[in-house]
Structure 1
Amino acid sequence: MLESVLIANRGEIACRIIRTAKRLGIRTIAVYSEADADALFVRMADEAHPIGPPPARESYLQIDRIIEVAKASRAASIHPGYGFLSERAEFAEACLKNGIAFIGPPPAAIRAMGLKDAAKALVQKANVPVVPGYHGAKQEPDFLRQKAYEIGYPVLIKAVAGGGGKGMRRVDKAADFDAALESAQREAQSAFGDPRVLVEKYILSPRHVEIQVFADRHGNVVHLFERDCSLQRRHQKVIEEAPAPGMTPEMRAIMGNAAVEAARAVGYVGAGTVEFIADGREGLRPDRFYFMEMNTRLQVEHPVTEAITGLDLVELQFRAASGEPLTFQQDDLTIKGHAVEARLYAEDPERDFLPSTGKLWALEFPEGEGIRIDTGVQAGDTVTPFYDPMIAKIIAHGTTRDEALDRLAAALEHTIVAGPKTNVAFLKNLCEAKEFRTGPFDTGFIDRNLQALGAVPQPVDLQAAIYGLTELVGSEVLRLSRLQKANLNLPLRRSPWAALDGFLLSGHWRRGIRAVVNGETVDGVMEWLPDSAALFKGKSAIGLGPIAPSSEYSDWWEKAFEANWLDPYAAPTRAPELGVTIVAAGKKATPQDEMLVLRNGRQTSVRMFDPFDVDLEHMDAGSAVKAPMHGKLIALFVKPGDIVEKGQRLAIVEAMKMEHPLVAPLSGEIAEVLAEEGAQVAEGARLISLKVDE
């Protein structure tokens, strides 16, 4: 067994590799960028070394720097994880050149499968079917546009290098081809350092089914069954499962054999995934599946394969790199139950899934039978704009598919994330969607069901706002209660009606409220009774509900806060009877605190209105184009004086490895351009302003 390993990666996968390595007695070495200096994987490793600034191209993509650290730390091997350098043949070659074992396939295999066009030509020789399209070297826009016309729309433009949905665009008509090609090439260059693309026929009703293969250095190659990754958004996987629904033994044998032959064709070693697209209009059929690509690395979704096989793929990688032969053959493998994985992202489904950044004020995951959590962050960590926004993978295993999905939905319901917006409610809705549970589904399922899945703008949760406002007003009462406790030796209480003042003479407590809920100002009157609260606007209640069951109310408040009254926000406040968790974004215990109320998987931000905290940019909100998230302004298409139409592309911001176009909110003349191409921009920063006709 290898003595030590340097993990040339970060986040969740680095933590995952470290756990298995430590179980095997392998010394672990982490490398980290300046943004990850306090990250969980850095704390977990036996030793850690800095490698550069936050941008990946200046740190995690620096081959020479990583090799330098590996040599200085006497690393016997390097594990690349997934993403970054995991599919760069030159990185594997640099490892071998310096006497360091590369935990992955030989450089020749990476090179053969790393470019989609060459890989398709190779597997065709092994009689593996490929998607019709142009996979050649010519990249002139006019030529590619002509090929798209010959193939017939819709077509799919795909980056030749890399994966993960980067550099991929569906084009439904010729008029959109040029813009889609330009965007795909730019994103491919940014993500993989290679702008080349291929153009393929878009398969209608596509199912994304992939086969996990594994090979040792002794010529043994097996497949570890399939995974279905058809629930996707923007060509990125959201929920994966194993085995694939509707897979027959005949189809599994045919696809598995095709994957094994593809691996043999390149002399593969280690863990790899052969990805297929299947026409799912009439179910999975042997004559309607096509090779897409081979990922020459571990996949994000590998835990579902581990769950149904009982194998540790990272351990197998270490053993294969050590020269050990596989201890099992194809016939020894069986499928045990069903597993489903959900990718929990820091993103806002109600705002077109825009990435969300910020401090994780609270982060808690449930435990239970059949539940596994793979994460690279903890409460107190910060989600930055520099890397992929995945917070965790939540994996559920059960005897049946329904049991696995039920366990996953329950786990999502009890997951607590406060700070950045997340897709937790969206994921739970997916798990419970009837068509996904019982009917045919394909890669277009999410796009067709955004409304039903809650991935559209939603009304403010005023019930959640009431809970947050009660906490905020309670913080004022808490200060009075502290004085009561100190001077009168009374029990510490936080509820408004526990205050020793005249407001209680009428049996209820009222207060005029001006609050900011999810950034919008709300005016009204809060009224408390012994077991409920209401928010009124005029004579109408705009939010109403119990704060807690009346019989348990006093105990609930007192137990929640008495132990931590000097630091009342040391932990989230929970009201499990109400399905509510309240987290303070800051531990100041003042009326200016921001309360994050988690309810039904959604997060509602509540704070008291501060007259000195005025948004001076609000007055020109209709004519200003602002950055929707922290990121980099990678393209700017206008200058002052230009005349633009409503909806016209003005700029592109790149964040967390994805492009986000900014469009004109109205027709008019560009008045100002306030940022330069290539600049880092903060969320909400004004980038462009338009003149408004008086």
Structure 2
Amino acid sequence: MWKRAPSRNSFENLCKSIWSTYTCSSVPFSIFQKRSFHNNRLILETWKENGVETGKVIDRNTQPSFRFDKLLVANRGEIACRVFRTAKKLGLKTVAIYSDADRNSLHVDWADEAIRIGPPPSTESYLNMDNIIRAAKQVGAQVIHPGYGFLSENSIFAEKCRQNGILFVGPPVEAIKKMGSKAAARSIMQAAGVPVVPGYHGDDQSDKRLLEEAKRIGFPVMIKPSMGGGGKGMKIVHSESEFLSLLEASRAEASSSFGDTHILLEKYLAVSRHVEVQIVADKHGNCVHLYERDCSVQRRHQKIIEEAPAPGISSSLRSLLGETAVAAAKAVGYENAGTVEFILDATRLESYNEQLSSKQDWKTNPPFYFMEMNTRLQVEHPVTEMITGQDLVEWQLRVTNEEYLPILHQQQIPLSGHAMEVRIYAENPFDQFLPQAGTIHKLIYPPTIQSFSSNPSVPIRIDSGMKEGDMVGVFYDPMIAKLIVSGQSREEVRQRLVDALFHTRVFGIPTNIEFVQRILRLEEFAMTGIDTGFLERNMEDLTMPLPGWVVRHCAVCASVAQFLFDSYVQYSRQSADPWCLPALSLFRLHLEQRYSMDLIPDKFSTAAEKDKEIHVQLTRLESSEASELLFLAKLKEHQALVRILERQVILDERDDVAVKAGTKASADYMIKMKLEWKLPQDTETDMRSQPDVGTSFREWIDVYQVGSEVVVYREGLSSLNKSMTTGYKELTDSSAIVARFKRSKSMLAFERGDSLETSSPLSHGAVQSPMPGRVAKVLATVGQQVNKGDPILVLEAMKMTHQILSPIAGCVKEIHFGPNDLVSGEAMLFEIQPDVEEQTTNLENKA
């Protein structure tokens, strides 16, 4: 450190001397003639005190090396892999913990060491503080990174780490207590003059008091667990009549996820934007923000699409958000990475931008309200890394090592381009988003990707803790991966993300990939018309089934592909290519005269209901060409000629629909077909909007066979005519799965499930489980009279609770499971004996 009279020449000479001493760079010094600069090695800090130039130089090479050399991640899956990548880059040894359910998981493979901490339930493993501390001491880990979720915001766990001489990668215990509790955080923000949403966060947690406060605030209200995050336990209550039941459900989820049932209430703003600011603070009093993220596209308060920077936010509002977030962090002596979440009134965003640009007093008409602070790294942190080029996990570890922030001045934090992240979940968007359990048989990601990279020059990034062969179970969050895409503009990123999602394919278990693609293609999303009610407004369009004639095209393609697969496997194993001439010759020699199969789109398909059963028959015809096979394909009243040539399939529909397909097979049993066709005159109208009759189209069909599963993808539909109905294009131009089949022997068999409301009845009063899970609570008893729609039991799966309702009015005849019992998908849960009136109604309906 130095102090001297301000002299421009002497100051510049000193800087030049420092620069030449510590670097061998040929970069002109004029670039660094700022009062502060830094690079990866050198930090030069200067300031004025009473007119005297003061400064200090920090050389990272002379700072202490890491005080620790072995890091344990007290988490699982994707976030554990993410932390391991940076830790290994910094030369640290890594330790994974695992439950019995995760013994063969990817995060266990990635770590240098792994240690078991308990059985599958999170309360006995990833939430078991003593077991985790014991594991860290056993392997000699000096530092624990908690990831996100589980114990990441638990002040008791952070204190246990401190008591056992283990460094905790996160804020001080007191800061976690203050900001980890949503109620305490609201009080702190109010004292600091930050606007907060009207609500109740008192200690009186009785049902009576909470109901009184809800009525005072005014419905709709939001019920939120005071501890934790991730949307778990959050419930929107629209009326007094449903308050107590949703309160109980919120407490149950909070207890399961966070071990705490304290609840707070907030006024629910129906048209709002969820905008959060990433901050990082070191142990030397420095704190900066790395700009904001928009997380408004949510379902059940779980974020689906996140992007940075937030669209439609002016630079002045962006600065105000950042400054407020930094002030909030400093108010509690915060250290390490954290996120300050705000809610913005979307209906007044334009006026907010104008108000701030005119420098009016924003506190008289606040543009945003404080919601909460997450004292941890967020799931969506990669979008911030992509627009800043910074590795936030490295920042966390350096702060834990008592180093200065890698970048000390706010104006030096880069902001370049745009980034979006989507979360790929094992769930069924077309059956009430029920979480799904099962094995991932095959996993395909887009080409030219990089895992867990914060380098913005790599535009596509995958963060995942799953691999082929892994089981998505019932004990943990059903997220399979995060797909992150960056680019120069939001529109470029949106289009790139749609394409990347098409090339991301998961076999063996349903996902939300098609649903997310549809979101990205909506005009409202493209025009940045997003808010927290965006999905609810568009849900009907987002889950609309595809038209029957599209499904029929896919059925023909699936049948042809399946025929080739079967023939190849049966007769041509000696050839690596089912399209070669020897293989076709064998087809001719051994081919049955007829090849038929039944195709029934299962419950994960978006096929139209009237096509829930399709019978396809291929009949061998005589051909004048020796080099081709000729078939007649029949499905319902439709038929088409199918010609199979070497490396080519030609479909010629007899009702003037011309389909031509150039195809090829790949080693993973994928056949790709390019189709050109016209819509016939008599095509039924099974869509809201439809193209003009005679319009020509081109699309690409990918047919995969993975094990017993046959999946048909449509890779983009484009019109060959200049005019096309907009609504039709929006619906059908969706690179997505349109048919998924399961094969049994020589036929394709399917499984179709009913919705949660009907609860998959085996008979009129017998109810099946809609998913694998655990019985959290039984709400009825045998012999009890119930009405249609009454809750009978509560099922818990992937940390979410689902009430299973009675499909009819009657008497509870049998309940086959009790609390804490594990149930498989489609297991019979209970039986209801219908009332006489109900039975009479059923007989009349049958008659």
- TM-score, normalised on structure 2? 0.74
Q: Counterparts of 1:52 and 1:687 in 2: how far apart (Å)?
A: 29
Match of 1:336 in 2: 416
Cα gap change, 1:71 to 1:621, in 2 (>3 Å)? same
Judge which range, 576-585 or 329-338, deviates more.
576-585
Match of 1:525 in 2: 617
Judge which range, 38-47 or 296-305, deviates more.
38-47
How many percent of aligned residue pairs carry the same amino acid? 42
Query: In the comparison of the two structures, how many residue pairs are matched?
Result: 668
Q: Counterparts of 1:612 and 1:370 in 2: how far apart (Å)?
A: 39
Kindly report the root-mean-square deviation, in angstroms, between the aligned alpha carbons of the 2 structures: 3.0
Q: Counterparts of 1:125 and 1:532 in 2: how far apart (Å)?
A: 80
| Unaligned stretches of 5+ residues in structure 2 | 1-65, 353-361, 449-457, 604-611, 622-627, 651-660, 675-698, 715-734, 754-759
1:658 and 2:800 equivalent? Answer: yes
Displacement of 1:583 in angstroms is 4.2
1:605 and 2:689 equivalent? Answer: no
Q: Is the 8 A contact 2:98 2:116 kept in 1?
A: yes
Q: Which among 107, 113, 121 is matched to residue 47 of structure 1? A: 113
The 5-angstrom pairing of residues 212-361 of structure 1 reads 212-283=278-349, 285=352, 286=362, 287-328=366-407, 329-361=409-441
Q: Counterparts of 1:594 and 1:58 in 2: how far apart (Å)?
A: 36
Match of 1:209 in 2: 275
Q: Is the 8 A contact 1:159 1:168 kept in 2?
A: yes
Q: Which among 560, 573, 578 is matched to residue 665 of structure 2? A: 560
Q: Is the 8 A contact 2:602 2:750 kept in 1?
A: no
Judge which range, 235-244 or 249-258, deviates more.
249-258
Q: Counterparts of 1:145 and 1:17 in 2: how far apart (Å)?
A: 43
Cα gap change, 1:502 to 1:295, in 2 (>3 Å)? closer
Q: Which among 136, 147, 152 is matched to residue 213 of structure 2? A: 147
Structure number with greater CO (CA < 8 Å, separation at least 6) is 1
Q: Which among 157, 166, 174 is matched to residue 232 of structure 2? A: 166
SS at match of 2:536: helix
CA-to-aligned-CA distance 1:202-248 (integer Å, 9 cap, x gap)? 11311100010000000101111100000000011010011111111
Q: Counterparts of 1:335 and 1:532 in 2: how far apart (Å)?
A: 60
Cα gap change, 1:485 to 1:117, in 2 (>3 Å)? closer
Match of 2:769 in 1: 627
Q: Counterparts of 1:122 and 1:204 in 2: how far apart (Å)?
A: 25
The 5-angstrom pairing of residues 61-72 of structure 1 reads 61-72=127-138
Match of 1:568 in 2: none
Amino acid at match of 2:373: M
Displacement of 1:157 in angstroms is 0.9
Kindly name which structure, 1 or 2, has the bigger radius of gyration based on alpha carbons. Answer: 2
Match of 1:510 in 2: 594
Q: Counterparts of 2:542 and 2:641 in 1: how far apart (Å)?
A: 26
Match of 1:452 in 2: 541
Match of 1:595 in 2: 710
Q: Counterparts of 2:663 and 2:312 in 1: how far apart (Å)?
A: 53
1:478 and 2:562 equivalent? Answer: no
Match of 2:634 in 1: 536
Q: Is the 8 A contact 2:588 2:629 kept in 1?
A: no
Q: Counterparts of 1:156 and 1:496 in 2: how far apart (Å)?
A: 68
Q: Is the 8 A contact 1:633 1:680 kept in 2?
A: yes
Q: Is the 8 A contact 1:416 1:598 kept in 2?
A: no
The 5-angstrom pairing of residues 390-409 of structure 1 reads 390-409=479-498
SS at match of 2:321: helix
Q: Is the 8 A contact 1:639 1:670 kept in 2?
A: yes
Displacement of 1:644 in angstroms is 2.3
| Unaligned stretches of 5+ residues in structure 1 | 504-508, 565-570, 587-592
Q: Is the 8 A contact 2:151 2:157 kept in 1?
A: yes
Q: Is the 8 A contact 1:472 1:607 kept in 2?
A: no
1:428 and 2:517 equivalent? Answer: yes
Q: Counterparts of 2:119 and 2:546 in 1: how far apart (Å)?
A: 36
Match of 1:506 in 2: none
SS at match of 1:451: helix
SS at match of 1:536: strand
Q: Is the 8 A contact 1:362 1:572 kept in 2?
A: no
Cα gap change, 1:3 to 1:595, in 2 (>3 Å)? same
Displacement of 1:480 in angstroms is 4.3
Q: Is the 8 A contact 1:626 1:686 kept in 2?
A: yes
CA-to-aligned-CA distance 1:619-666 (integer Å, 9 cap, x gap)? 934432211111111122222222322222222211111112212222
Cα gap change, 1:27 to 1:358, in 2 (>3 Å)? same
Q: Counterparts of 2:589 and 2:381 in 1: how far apart (Å)?
A: 59
Displacement of 1:608 in angstroms is 3.8
Match of 2:57 in 1: none
1:672 and 2:814 equivalent? Answer: yes
Displacement of 1:109 in angstroms is 0.8
Match of 2:721 in 1: none
Displacement of 1:546 in angstroms is 7.0
Q: Is the 8 A contact 2:664 2:671 kept in 1?
A: no
Q: Counterparts of 2:782 and 2:747 in 1: how far apart (Å)?
A: 34
1:3 and 2:118 equivalent? Answer: no
CA-to-aligned-CA distance 1:150-205 (integer Å, 9 cap, x gap)? 11111111111111111111111111111111111111111111111111111131
Q: Counterparts of 2:673 and 2:392 in 1: how far apart (Å)?
A: 38
Match of 1:91 in 2: 157
Q: Counterparts of 1:312 and 1:295 in 2: how far apart (Å)?
A: 19
Q: Counterparts of 1:434 and 1:347 in 2: how far apart (Å)?
A: 25
- TM-score, normalised on structure 1? 0.90
CA-to-aligned-CA distance 1:38-76 (integer Å, 9 cap, x gap)? 111111111111111111111111111111111111112
